[in-house]
Amino acid sequence: MKRYSYSEFVFSFPSPCSFDPNPLQRHTFWTIVIGGTFTWTAIYGVNQSQVQRYIACKSRFHAKMSLYINLVGLWAILVCATLCGLSLYSIYKDCDPWTAKQVSALDQLMPYLVLDILHDFPGVPGLFVASAYSGTLSTVSSSINALAAVTVEDLIRPYFKSLSEKKLSWISMGMSMSGKYLFHFSISSERKGKKEAILFDL
């Protein structure tokens, strides 16, 4: 595999300590602080799937405690993600798999690393893929269920008042199952090529 200098390395992003006010720069102090504030406020403040969880709590105290526990888990995830990035840099700093065409996308670097260093341990790479996939499914399923609930409450119930609660419940579950089916269908379409993936996503 060809060796590359640090300047050619895939992880050479602008320093987050930069105070450049240019909003077109991806990682600067201002884009991280200002953009991060709006991003996390939207996720935990007004996101429908999150608000639905808050409402499901017994009291405001339980809702606050759930957020504090979630914060600890979020910190753990960020620490693990940082360590994964440092591991990628440490192992591939002189040999970039993406530039060497060993992977076709940047988000394939971590699975490539797992397969590279754990190929002598049968089943372990599969556990990594299963863990990543299950984490994605939990987030997607919450969003799909929230979307189904909003659709039933705001678009179907006001115009079809004769429907019973049981029928509305069946409609909501049917929409959730349809959304999950389309999600799996879109993932499988990526193997068919870019044109087919775009077509199925649309």
**Is residue 117 pLDDT above 50, yes or no?**
yes
Can you tell me the distance from the alpha carbon of 174 to that of 167, in angstroms, rounded to the nearest whole number? 10
Residue 27 DSSP code: S
Distance CA(122)–CA(128), nearest Å, equals 12
Please, are residues 168 and 156 in contact by the beta-carbon 8 Å criterion? Answer: yes
- How far apart CA 65 and CA 78 sit, in angstroms, is 20
In this predicted structure, what is the pLDDT of residue 76? 94
* Inter-residue contact 8 to 96 (CB < 8 Å): yes
**Cα separations (Å) of 102 from 1, 6, 117, 164?**
9, 18, 15, 56
Compute the distance between CA of residue 74 and CA of residue 80 in angstroms, rounded to an integer. 10
Q: What is the CA radius of gyration of the chain?
A: 22
Is residue 100 over pLDDT 50?
A: yes
Specify the pTM.
0.64
pLDDT tens for residues 119-155?
888 888 888 878 877 877 777 777 788 888 888 888 8
